[in-house]
Amino acid sequence: MNGEEQQKPELIKKIAKFLPSVEKPLYKQGFNERLKWTGIALLLYLVMANVTIFGIAAGSYEQFRFFEIVLGSRFGSLMTLGIGPIVTAGIILQLLVGSKIINWDMTKPESRKKFQTWNKTLAVAFAFIEAVAYVAAGAVPVSGGSGIFLLVVMQLAAGGILVILLDEIVSKWGFGSGVSLFIGAGVSWRLITS
């Protein structure tokens, strides 16, 4: 292995140290404990889906209702990005690994750890990229100048990062996958409110 290949994993490890994360439990969780953490994550998701972003212009998001269902999001709230950054990062990495552009043997624990580290890092990056794209394209209209533009982008990105952390809580402390839980919650919420 040459020097460049050895530095790439080290760089991602250094970046990952600065990313917020949820530690695995130190003991085996019982059913009630796992159910409690799943419920807490779901409750936080639903609360954030009802917190309106400061600095956006009032408007209708009817044209985005399909995306809300698919992405487990709610336009105009902290959950505007939903699971989009997580799914986008996962798809890109799976394509790169599956096509052997990135040659990782996913049967080995160290390759799976690399995959998870890169997946989380890319998901955080996509939270910012998608936030800028949503605001710049007018999907989330801003009611002000460049300062408000930046404030709205930061709120959207923070919501995306919180979804990443909630997904980690569900997968490490609760039942199943946060992504599936949030899609199910979004669909259920839509059925109940309509």
Query: What confidence tens digit (pLDDT) does each residue in 131-150 have?
Result: 999 999 988 888 888 899 99
> Which regions of the chain are under pLDDT 50?
1-7
Whether the model clears a pTM of 0.75, i.e. scores above it, the answer is yes
Look at phi and psi of residue 98 and say left if phi exceeds 0, alpha if psi is from -120 to 50, else beta.
alpha
User: What pLDDT score does 9 carry?
Assistant: 52
Backbone φ and ψ of 144, nearest 5° = 165, -170
Distance of CA 34 to the CA centre of its chain: 21
Cβ neighbors of 65 (< 8 A, separation 6 or more) are 190
User: What pLDDT score does 158 carry?
Assistant: 96
User: What pLDDT score does 4 carry?
Assistant: 46
Q: Closest Cα partner for 54 from 139, 149, 136, 161?
A: 149
The answer to whether the beta carbons of residues 22 and 40 sit under 8 Å apart is: no
